[in-house]
Amino acid sequence: MTGRVLGTPYWVEIASPDVEVSRRFYGELFGWYAYTLATGGYGDYMMFTLRDVNGPEVGGMQPLTDDTQPPSWSCYFYTDDMGASLDAVQAAGGQALMEPATVAHMGRAALCSDTQGAGFALYEPADPSLIPVADEPATMCWVELACRDVQESRRFYGEVFGWTAVDRDYYGSVYTNWKVGDWAVAGMVSMDERWPADYPAHWIPYFWVPDCDAYAARAVELGAKSRVPPSDVETGRFSILTDPTGARFAVLTPAAGARDRFHPRR
């Protein structure tokens, strides 16, 4: 399978209470540059790029203006029919949190939440031939849902995106891979009693790095907190962190050949 299909992870975006702190942190950790894009009635939007300010785009950032919401990364999923995808979200019991918005020249986006309150977004690009950079270090390589009712999430995302859930052992518990055909597009973990009772269901992005241990240590030096120390799994070595503003993300060094099993974004 090649090309983009419904539900493929397409874009990631952070909502930060301090955009300068976030810009500096991710710039020093991943070598990202940033520029500000005017988006009409939706305020300024910061684009993260690789190599230089004119380099390929890897993610976005907007200021967090609602003090009741935690800093967080949002995962955007590809659709070629925004109306049909929003209908599917609502038919499955989820919510459309906003009307689809046209963002500059790039396309249309709509923020949604699933039946357990995990936020995600749909994205319909204006030009389907354009796609954020992938398949190199410091880019998003995986997305993962943490929730309490995995069966409900299997049902919801299966109905919305047509994903098939495949379970595998994960240190004595169950990890779910969501697949389209033979390709893995996302993962899911269960939030058990080790999680704070008031911590909501959420999606997080994983960023590809050449040395998980070194990047995790550097993130802590820059003000991040380690949530899961560097650990080995079938697909590589990963670590989960929260950045200096509190947004959760992960770094992953894929095992040899592991990226061949992820759905290509090109």
Here the CATH number for the domain that contains residue 201 is: 3.10.180.10
Indicate the pairing of strand 9-16 with strand 57-63.
Answer: parallel
Share of the chain above pLDDT 90, in %: 69
pLDDT computed for residue 2 by the predictor: 46
pLDDT exceeds cutoff 60 at 260:
no
Mean pLDDT to the nearest integer, 1-23: 88
What integer pLDDT is reported at residue 1 of this predicted model?
A: 41
The predicted pLDDT at position 192 comes to 87
CA pair distance 11, 31, nearest whole angstrom: 18
Regarding whether 80 and 179 lie in a shared domain, the answer is no
In a domain, 3, yes or no: no
pTM of the entire predicted model: 0.93
Same domain (yes/no): 19, 83: yes
Q: Supply the pLDDT for residue 19.
A: 95
Instruction: Please check whether residue 37 lies inside any domain of the structure.
Output: yes
In a domain, 17, yes or no: yes
Q: Is the pLDDT of residue 263 over 60?
A: no
Task: Please give the average per-residue pLDDT across 14-35, as a whole number.
Answer: 97
pLDDT-derived band at 43, boundaries 50, 70, 90: low
Q: What percent of the chain has pLDDT over 70?
A: 91
Q: Which of 125, 148, 172 is the last residue of a domain?
A: 125
Specify the amino acid at residue 209.
V
What pLDDT sits at residue 104? 64
Lowest mean pLDDT among 126-135, 150-159, 237-246: 126-135
pLDDT of residue 189: 94
- Domain membership of residue 83 (yes or no) is yes
| Beta-sheet strands, E only, within the chain | 9-16, 33-38, 44-49, 57-63, 72-78, 95-96, 101-103, 107-113, 119-125, 140-147, 164-170, 173-180, 183-190, 202-208, 225-233, 236-242, 248-254
Please check the confidence at residue 175 and state whether its pLDDT lies above 50. yes
Owning domain of residue 66: 9-125
- Looking at the predicted structure, is the pLDDT value of residue 119 above 80? yes
The dihedral built from the CA positions of residue 129, 131, 137 and 143, taken in this order, carries a sign that is negative
**pLDDT, average across residues 192-219:** 94
| Residue 189 within a domain | yes
pLDDT score of 107: 85
When the pLDDT of each residue in the chain is averaged and rounded to a whole number, the result is: 90
Q: Which amino acid is at 191?
A: M
| Residue 262 confidence (pLDDT) above 70 | no
Q: Which range, of 143-152, 218-227, 257-266, averages the lowest pLDDT?
A: 257-266
| 3-17, 81-95, 108-122, 197-211: least confident range | 3-17
pLDDT band at 114 (very low <50, low <70, confident <90, very high): very high
Beta bridge partners of 101: 109
Residue 119 in any domain: the answer is: yes
* Residues 190 and 154 grouped into a single domain: yes
Helix then strand count (H, E) for the chain reads: 4, 17
